[in-house]
Structure 1
Amino acid sequence: MTTRGITVLAGGLKETQKITRRAEAAGFDAAWSGEFLHRSAVVSVAAMAAATTRIGVGSAIAYAVGRSPLVLANDARFLDEMSDGRLTLGLGTGTRRMMQGWHGVKDPDGPATRMEELVPLLRRLWRLHEGPVRHEGRFYSVDINPTADIQPPLRPSIPVYTAGVNARMIEVAGRVSDGLICHPTITDRYLDDVARPAIARGAEKAGRSPEEIKLKGVIICAIADDTATARREAAAQIAFYVAPKAYGPVMEVSGFAAEAAAIQAAFRAGDHQGMVDAVSDAMLAQMAVAGTVDEVRDALPALEKRYDHAALYSPSFTLPPGRVAENTEAITEAFAR
C-alpha cells in the first residue's frame, strides 16, 4: 500500500509547522520540505520535527552541494535525534547552473558521480564513534581522527533518498540510496522506459536488488470549487517545471515534446499565460490531480499507485501565498484518514 505525505515548499517556518501539525492530525505518514533561493530544508525540517511527535519528516530535497560532508552528516544526525528517528534525508544537486551560480561549485561536472561518492561517505561519518574516517576521492577529501569520545547517533543508518531526472542520476539511487525521489513531471512511460531500468542497472552494479530502492513521488494537487481554476493552477506549476530545457528529454520520452517546446518558447518570451495554455490535458492527467474535492479523490489513486510513498504538493507558481496555504489545507482535509 502506498503511504501518503505532504510537501511544504511555501510560507515561513510558522506556516510550515502549522501545515505539518495538520498533516499529522489528519493521519498523513510524512511531511517533506525542500529548499530554494530563500528556503532552508534543514531548518524547515527541524521546525517540522519540533512541532510534531509521530509523522515522518524529510528533506525533498536538501542540496548535497554547498555543504561539506561533515556538516551535512551532522545536520542529518541532529535532525534525526530531534525527530526521534523520523527523518528521511532527501538529497539532490540541482541543475548545473544552480550548482555553479547558487552554490559556488567550481567543478559541476559529474553530479551523479559526486552523489555516489557522497552518500557512502555520509554513512561512514555517522559511524565516526567507531574510529577515524579517511577518504580521498574526486570530489571530497576527508581525514578525521577523533580526539575525544563521540557519542553514536540515534540511528547509524538514516534513510537516504536521492533525486534524479536523467537516467544516469536515477542510476545513483540503485547504486547507493535507499530510495529515489521522483520529479513531479515524471510519467508512467518515463518510469517504465527510463527510471526503473536505470535503478535496476545501478542496483546490479552494486550487487543489490532493485526492490530495495523505494520510489517517492511528488504529485501536484490543486483543489477548488471551480474545476477550471484548479486545472489552471496545476498547469501553471507543470509549465514552471517544464520551462528549463533540462526536462526536454523527460517530455520527449513521455510523448510531450510538442507541449514542452511551446512552453519553453512562451517562457523565453515572458508569456506566463502562454506557458499555462501549452499544458495539455494529457500532461495534466499524468502529472497532477486537479479539480473539486471529489475529482481529486477519484484521480489520485491512478498516480500514487506508481510509488511506495506519494507526497502531495500544492502549486505555487503565479499563486499568492494565501491561495497556496488555502489549497494545502484543503489537501490535508480531503485526504484525512
Structure 2
Amino acid sequence: MRHRISLHLTGSTAAELVTAARACEDAGIYSLIASELYTNPFVPLAAVAASTSRIGLGTGIALAFVRSPLSLALEALDMDALTGGRFTLGLGTGVKTLNEQWHGVTDFSPPVAHMREVVAFVRLFNANAHLGKPIHFDGRFVKVHMEGYQRPLTPARERIPIHLGANRSKMLELAGEVADGVLGHVFVSPRQLRDEVLPAIGRGLAKAGRPRSEFMVGAGITCAIDDDRETARHHARGPLAFYSTVRTYEPLFAADGFASEVAAIRAAFQSGDKKRAVTLVTDDMVDTYCAAGTPDEVLRKVAEYDDLLDIKGVSPPRHFCPPDAHEAYRARILEVFANA
C-alpha cells in the first residue's frame, strides 16, 4: 500500500459508526480517528472496536489538559485492550478559549512543558500500573502519588503510541523528542512540511537520539472528488474559509503568502456575509492546501505528499458543504483510495 490513508470516524448512532468503520476497513483505509469537539473522542472508537479487526483507531485529538492525567492513562489502556493493540493516543493542547472558557482550565501554560509532563506520566503509568509498583510523578502540572495500586489487567502492549497535535516549532520538536508521531493541521502546505515541520521534528528526534524511521508524520488534506472539478473546488473552499477566521491559524496561512486573503475572508465572515467569505478563497489557496477535482487530479495532488507524510488524513469538506455532498465526497474517497 503506497498511501496510508486516515479518515475521521463518523456516525450518530452505534450502528452508523460500525457501518462506517467496516466500510473503511474493507476499503483498506489505514486508520480512523475521532476528535473532541462535538463528541468525546474515545466513545465512538470504543463503539467500533469489536466490529473491526485490522484498521487502526485513534484519538485525533483528545484534549490533554482538560482531564486528569490518571483518567487519560486509563482511557488509553482501556482503548488499547478493546482494540487488541490497534489504538493510538492522539493528544493536543487545544486553544486558550477552549481550555479556559469551555472547560474552566486556567493553569495550563506553558503548553509545551505541560504536554511533556502529560506524555511522561501516561508512559510511566501504562508501564507500571499492572505491576503493583509505586507510581510517583511530581511535576509542575502533573502531581500523582500512588501506593498499593495494581491494575488487574495485563496491557495489550508495553507501549501505546502517542501522537501529538502540533503546528508550531516547539511542539513539533517536543513530539520528535518524546512522542511516536505528529498529527498536523488540516491545512498545512507541502512547503510548510518540507521547510518547517520536518526540520523541527528532526531536531526533536536528534535530541532524543532517535531515527526518523521510528516516527510517524501525519497531517490533514481536505479532499473533494467529483467528476465536475469546479463543484469539488467550490466545496473545498468552505473549510478554508472557516479556518481563515480562526486567529490561531493566521500565521500558518501568512507563511504561505495568504495574509491579505485571510484578512479579507475574516472581515466578510465577521460582517455576516459567509457566502462572500467562501468566494474570497482563491484558486491559489485551494491548490496549496487541498486535493480537489477529478479522481486523477486528486490522486496526483495526494501523491505530492508521498515523501512528506507517513499518514495522509484526507477529509471531505464539511464547513459550508451540504450534508449530502459531504457524504458523497466521503464515499468517493473510499472508492478512489480503496486499497491504494
- TM tier, smaller: over 0.9
**Cα deviations by residue, 1:12-43 (Å, 9 ceiling, x for unpaired):** 5433322221111111121122121x211101
The equivalent residue for 2:304 is 302
Q: Contact 1:96–1:108 (CA<8 Å) still a contact in 2? A: no
Over 4 Å off, 4+ runs: 9-13
Distance (Å, rounded) in 2 between the aligned partners of 1:234 and 1:303: 18
Distance (Å, rounded) in 1 between the aligned partners of 2:157 and 2:142: 24
Letter paired with 1:53: S
> What is the total number of aligned residue pairs between the two structures?
336
The equivalent residue for 1:202 is 204
The equivalent residue for 2:338 is 336
Q: Which moved more, 1:296-305 or 1:5-14?
A: 5-14
Secondary structure of the structure 2 residue equivalent to 1:303:
coil
Distance (Å, rounded) in 2 between the aligned partners of 1:159 and 1:266: 42
Letter paired with 1:157: R
The equivalent residue for 2:31 is 30
**Cα deviations by residue, 1:247-286 (Å, 9 ceiling, x for unpaired):** 1111122222222222222222222122212222222122
The equivalent residue for 2:221 is 219
The equivalent residue for 1:58 is 58
Distance (Å, rounded) in 1 between the aligned partners of 2:272 and 2:18: 35
The equivalent residue for 1:249 is 251
Q: Contact 2:134–2:149 (CA<8 Å) still a contact in 1? A: no
**Cα deviations by residue, 1:91-149 (Å, 9 ceiling, x for unpaired):** 11211111112222122421111111111110111022231111111111101113456
Compared CA separation, residues 212 and 103, structure 1 to 2 (3 A):
same
Q: Which moved more, 1:170-179 or 1:260-269?
A: 260-269
2:139 to 124, 137, 153: 137
- 1:278-293, aligned counterparts within 5 Å? 278-293=280-295
1:268 to 242, 254, 270: 270
Compared CA separation, residues 315 and 129, structure 1 to 2 (3 A):
same
- 1:9-28, aligned counterparts within 5 Å? 11-28=12-29
Distance (Å, rounded) in 1 between the aligned partners of 2:179 and 2:98: 22
The equivalent residue for 1:4 is 5
Q: Contact 2:183–2:217 (CA<8 Å) still a contact in 1? A: yes
Letter paired with 1:164: A
1:72, distance to aligned residue in structure 2 (A): 0.9
The equivalent residue for 2:126 is 126
Q: Which moved more, 1:197-206 or 1:67-76?
A: 197-206
Q: Contact 1:123–1:156 (CA<8 Å) still a contact in 2? A: no
Distance (Å, rounded) in 2 between the aligned partners of 1:6 and 1:295: 19
1:292, distance to aligned residue in structure 2 (A): 2.8
The equivalent residue for 2:90 is 90
Residues 1:239 and 2:241 are matched in the alignment: yes
1:211, distance to aligned residue in structure 2 (A): 4.6
Cα RMSD between the aligned structures?
Answer: 1.9
1:159, distance to aligned residue in structure 2 (A): 0.5
The equivalent residue for 1:114 is 114
Letter paired with 1:75: E
Secondary structure of the structure 2 residue equivalent to 1:139:
coil
**Cα deviations by residue, 1:137-181 (Å, 9 ceiling, x for unpaired):** 111110111345633311120100001112222222112110011
Distance (Å, rounded) in 1 between the aligned partners of 2:143 and 2:202: 30
Compared CA separation, residues 287 and 140, structure 1 to 2 (3 A):
same
Q: Which moved more, 1:312-321 or 1:198-207?
A: 198-207
Letter paired with 2:80: D
TM-score w.r.t. the length of structure 2 is 0.92
Distance (Å, rounded) in 2 between the aligned partners of 1:55 and 1:170: 26
TM-score w.r.t. the length of structure 1 is 0.93
Q: Contact 2:63–2:93 (CA<8 Å) still a contact in 1? A: yes
Q: Which runs of 5+ in 2 are unaligned?
A: none
Distance (Å, rounded) in 2 between the aligned partners of 1:146 and 1:305: 48
Compared CA separation, residues 272 and 50, structure 1 to 2 (3 A):
farther
Distance (Å, rounded) in 2 between the aligned partners of 1:35 and 1:142: 25
Q: Contact 2:188–2:220 (CA<8 Å) still a contact in 1? A: no
Distance (Å, rounded) in 2 between the aligned partners of 1:318 and 1:92: 25
Distance (Å, rounded) in 2 between the aligned partners of 1:274 and 1:8: 31
Q: Contact 1:61–1:163 (CA<8 Å) still a contact in 2? A: yes
Letter paired with 1:129: H
Q: Contact 2:11–2:20 (CA<8 Å) still a contact in 1? A: no
1:330, distance to aligned residue in structure 2 (A): 1.7
Distance (Å, rounded) in 1 between the aligned partners of 2:319 and 2:17: 18
Q: Which moved more, 1:114-123 or 1:237-246?
A: 237-246
The equivalent residue for 1:179 is 181
Distance (Å, rounded) in 2 between the aligned partners of 1:69 and 1:93: 13
Compared CA separation, residues 147 and 73, structure 1 to 2 (3 A):
closer
Secondary structure of the structure 2 residue equivalent to 1:41:
coil
Letter paired with 1:285: D
Letter paired with 1:63: L
Distance (Å, rounded) in 2 between the aligned partners of 1:129 and 1:281: 55
